[in-house]
Amino acid sequence: MLQARGLLRSSGVVWLRQYVNGCLEAWHRFWFEPADAFMLGIIRLLGGWMLFYNLAVWTMDLEAFFGDNGLQPLSAVKSLYVNRPIFSFWLWTGDQYLWPMHIACLVISAMFCLGFATRVTSILSFLITISYSQRVPIANFGFDQILGMLCLYLSVGPSGAAVSVDSLIRRWWLGRKGLVDAPRKFASARVAMRLIQLHLCAIYFWAGFAKLKGPSWWTGEAMWRVIANEEYQTMDLTWMAWVPWLPFLIAHVTIAWEIFFIVLVWNPKFRPLMLFMGVLMHVGIGAFLGMWTFGLIMAFAYLAFSDPDLWRHRMTLFVRWVRGRGDESLVPALDAANVHSGVGAAEAIETAVPTMISEAAGLPQTTSTSATMHSATLSEVCVVAAVVNDRSTLRRYLREHQVPCRIVSDLNSGLDVISRYRISAVVINTTQLVPSNVVDFAADVADLTNLPILVLAASSQQSLFVGLDAVPRVEVLDLPASLRDIRCRLQSMCDAAEAISSRDTLSKPELG
Amino acid sequence: MLKLLKKCGYLVVSLMLGFHVFAVFISPAAMPPASPLLMDGYRLALPYNELLFLNHGYHYFAPDPGASTLISYAVPRPGDAPVVGRFPNLSIHPRLLYHRYFMLAENLWAFDDETQAEIQKAYARHFSALHDSSSITLNRISHEPSSILRIQAGGKLDDPETFQVETIGAFDFSTEASQQSSVAQSF
Between CA B148 and CA A82 the distance in angstroms is 46
Percent of chain B with pLDDT over 70: 94
Predicted pLDDT at A209: 93
The average pLDDT across A143-153 equals 97
Question: Is the per-residue pLDDT at A335 higher than 50?
Answer: no
Q: What ipTM was predicted for this assembly?
A: 0.92
DSSP A362-404: TPPPPPHHHHHHHHHHS-EEEEEESSHHHHHHHHHHHHHTT--
Distance in angstroms (rounded) separating the CA atoms of residues A29 and A33: 5
What is the percent of chain A where pLDDT is above 70?
Answer: 86
b/e B13-33 (16+ beta carbons within 10 angstroms → b): eeeebeebbebbbbbbbbbee
Name every chain B residue with its beta carbon within 8 A of the beta carbon of A199: 24
Is residue A505 pLDDT above 80, yes or no?
no
Interface list for A 230-259 with B (CB within 8 A): 230-234, 238, 241-242, 244
Amino acid A349: pLDDT:
32
Residue type at B170 in one-letter notation: A
Banded pLDDT at B51 (limits 50, 70, 90): very high
Residue A296 pLDDT: 96
Instruction: Name residue A286's amino acid.
Output: G
> What is the distance between the alpha carbons of residues A427 and A404, in angstroms, rounded to a whole number?
13
Cβ of residue A131 closer than 8 Å to a chain B Cβ: no
- The CB density around residue B147, as the number of other CB atoms within 10 Å, is 16
Given CB atoms, is B104 within the 8 Å cutoff of chain A?
yes
Test the B interface: residue of A60, A62, A152, A206 with most B CBs within 10 Å: A206
How confident is the model over A252-304, as pLDDT tens digits?
A: 999 999 999 999 999 999 999 999 999 999 999 999 999 999 999 999 999 99
Q: Where are the domains of chain B?
A: 2-51, 68-185
Give the pLDDT score at A417: 82
Q: Does B175 touch chain A (CB under 8 A)?
A: no
Establish if A10 touches chain B: CB-CB under 8 angstroms: no
Report the pLDDT value the prediction gives residue A511, as an integer from 0 to 100.
Answer: 37
Say if residue B92's pLDDT is above 70: yes
Average pLDDT, chain A: 83
Confidence check: pLDDT of A503 > 70 = no
Model confidence over A212-262: pLDDT tens digits? 999 999 999 999 999 999 999 888 899 999 999 999 999 999 999 999 999
Residue A412: what pLDDT? Answer: 82
Say what the pLDDT of residue A377 is.
38
Cβ-nearest to A70 among B66, B107, B122: B122
Contacts of A219 in chain B (CB under 8 A): none
Q: In chain B, which residue's Cα lies nearest the Cα of A241? A: B148
Whole-structure pTM value: 0.75
A224 has a chain B CB within 8 A of its CB: yes
Euclidean distance between CA atoms A317 and A26, whole angstroms: 35
Q: Which of residues 13-32 of B touch A (CB under 8 A)?
A: 14, 17, 20-21, 24-25, 28-29, 31
Q: What is the pLDDT of residues A339-356, one digit of tens each?
A: 333 333 333 333 333 333
The 3-state DSSP class for residue A256 equals: helix
Do A201 and A229 contact (CB within 8 A), yes or no? Answer: no
Chain A contact for B38 (CB, 8 A cutoff): no
Q: How does residue A328 score in pLDDT terms, banded at 50, 70 and 90?
A: very low
Inter-chain residue contact B59 with A206, CB threshold 8 Å: yes
Inter-chain touch B103–A139, beta carbons under 8 Å: yes
**Among A70, A244, A293, whose Cβ lies nearest the Cβ of B126?**
A70
In a mutagenesis test of the A interface, which of B72, B148, B149 is the best target, namely the one with the most A β-carbons within 10 Å?
A: B148
Q: Which domains does chain A have, with CATH numbers?
A: 35-306 (no CATH), 315-503 (3.40.50.2300)
Give the Cα separation of B107 and B92 in Å (integer).
18
- The pLDDT, as a whole number, for residue B165 is 94
Query: Which pLDDT does position A464 carry in this prediction?
Result: 80
**Among B187, B76, B175, CA closest to B128:** B76
Q: Give one word for A115, left, alpha or beta, with left for phi > 0 and alpha for psi -120 to 50.
A: left
Residue A125: its chain B contacts at CB < 8 A? none
Let me know: does A163 contact A38? Beta carbons within 8 Å: yes
pLDDT over threshold 90, residue A76? yes
- A222 and B65: CB-CB below 8 Å? yes
The rounded distance, in Å, linking the Cα atoms of A258 and A274 is 9
In B, which residues are within 8 Å of A262 by CB distance? none
Gap from A458 CA to chain B (nearest CA, Å):
25
Chain B residues within 8 A of A69 when measuring between CB atoms: 122, 125
